[in-house]
Amino acid sequence: MASLACADNSDSVFEEALHAARNDDWNGLAQAQKRLSDDHPLQAYLEFHRLRAALPDLSPQRVVEYGERYPDSPLPDDIRQHALVAYAKESRWRDVLKVYDRAPRGTELRCYYLRAQWENGDKGVLPQVRELWLSGSSRPSSCDPLFEAARDQGVIGEQEIWERLLLAFDQGATGLMSYLADMQSGADATAGEWLGRLHRDPERLRELPEGIGDERREQLLSAALRRLAYTDTVRARELFEQESANLGLKDPALRERAAERIAWYSTIRGIEENRQWLDGWLANNGSADTLDQRARRSVIEQRWDELPDWVARLPAAARDDSRWQYWLGRAAEENGDDEAARAHWGRAAGQRNFYGFLAAERLGQAPVFSNASPATDDSAPTQPGLARVALLREIDEPQLAWDEWNWMLWHSSEGQRRKLAQHALQQGWYDLVVQASIQARAWNVLAWRFPAAHRDLFVNAARRHDLDPWLSMAVARRESAFYPHARSPVGAQGLMQLMPGTARKVARDAGQTPPDARQVMDPDINVALGTRYLAELLERFNGNRVLALAAYNAGPHRVDDWLAEEEDAVPADVWIESIPFYETREYVQAVLTYRVLFQGLHGNREQLVLLRPDERGTPYSLAMMD
């Protein structure tokens, strides 16, 4: 492992050098590097930026040599990607193949690489181009020359254009549909035009003109019914039952695709008008997902007598899972068979998850943790990247440290990953230990999966708002896995994944200056604001954690309508299973489960409670299902 001895005196110098390199300040970089030792563990980062700035004129040999010099780093992969794009944009196709000997990951890079092969005379790449073409979403512009070549060579023809149109139709990619329709000619052009019309108004399926051809007609009819299943599920079922065969939809596979979509939306929307048809069709058809939703519908409607029959149709692995064992127990209880109920709950209670813990509470038992020892030897991990991770974290470069860490995990054995996980725990690198536990598949080593990350921070923040610190810690574990610089696709930031607008509002309400984007990533600020926001939601929903957590994920405005008067109430467990948004449903279950784990692992293991009596007794509404 590289020595850390130089770190104490050179951190600020390296930060100065890295800042200069990122901003192409080569004079500033040269001055800073004079004060750094040649063997500084992070020298590779400075050289990376010199190479990056020299592109596209940089010799590919320099790129190759850089990779040979730093074989234990993620940086050679990064500079190869930069070089590939730079060379491709300059049409230096031979140089592309000098820095890559196989197609890289990522569609844009792969298209550049395949084009380099094509430009260098390799005609065998066109079947791979056809695979890239067959996508319902748009492809990067780097793929366009390849698609043109494949069309010129007849590898992409009318059939491939039509197949992609159908894929785009199912994904609702209307812009791509228009683009593809312009490529068509003859009868296929007519079919393409009608596919667009049917996406806008699927009931026009009865207006399909003659001359399209039987195959295209059936595909159009099936597509229209799938679209109509979304826009008007009852009408889709009526047309499927009463008119589809006469209109020409006879192919068994296409009929099944249409019926499956009608069944899916009939199930998740609970459409009574379609129930007789749905249950009749599902008697001999239906995917595992649709059957799962049909069993879930029985739970939502508390039709306990029919639930066991639907669960029995699920695959064995699903039937044995704690979720369905729990609900079979509930059904048995409601049907007056307490012995069977306890048997089902006993099987569920052996599993470490929401429904396993819920079953344990039904039985009056403690939750089963199945906690395993880390079971690593006493030797320390020796990867050179560890020194770089430590230094990068010290100088507040978490993304670079994260990249180094993941590169080490991907290039390590399972035993090495376990050592890295234990090392990260000892160093207090909580986000990295969670990531290592996943890569090591150490599902039962709870010390790694649920470390008491930033415990003092959460405890102090929770104390200010009379809040359970294990709850806010569980929220952070679910939201960001304790990575302070996490950023979601929609812009949520930090440990507890606050949206910038929410962070500003919470700060203003507290009489504080709203944080800027960088400050939101500071754990002290983020946890303080996130905990305050969680406390506000709990106050809004009378301390009910189920509702507050649903609001934290889906937004409080949605949850305001999810309450009911006493006569409209459903039990808490039914309500949680009924949450229409899969993400929110899983979120509520996960956070409540994580809270029990955190308390049991790091706090008072007595009286672990998943759902409090007041939460069980709250009148929850199924109005949200509308």
Q: Write out the catalytic residue numbers.
A: 479
Query: Considering only CA atoms, which of 371, 611, 574 is closest in space to residue 471?
Result: 611
- Inter-residue contact 270 to 297 (CB < 8 Å): yes
In Å, how far from its chain's centre is CA 177?
27
Torsions phi, psi for 283 (to 5 deg): -60, -30
Q: What would the two tokens of residue 121 be?
A: 């005379």
Collapse the DSSP code of 620 into the 3-class scheme (helix H, G, I; strand E, B; otherwise coil) and give the result. strand
- Inter-residue contact 293 to 267 (CB < 8 Å): yes
Torsions phi, psi for 565 (to 5 deg): -75, 165
Collapse the DSSP code of 605 into the 3-class scheme (helix H, G, I; strand E, B; otherwise coil) and give the result. coil
Q: How far apart are CA 114 and CA 124, in angstroms?
A: 10
45 Cβ neighbours under 8 A, 6+ residues apart? 18, 21, 75, 400
Q: How far apart are CA 358 and CA 595, in angstroms?
A: 13
Q: How far apart are CA 624 and CA 470, in angstroms?
A: 29
The residue whose two tokens read 């049409």 is 91
For 514, which DSSP code?
A: P
Rg (CA), the chain: 29
Query: Considering only CA atoms, which of 503, 497, 474, 473 is closest in space to residue 485?
Result: 497
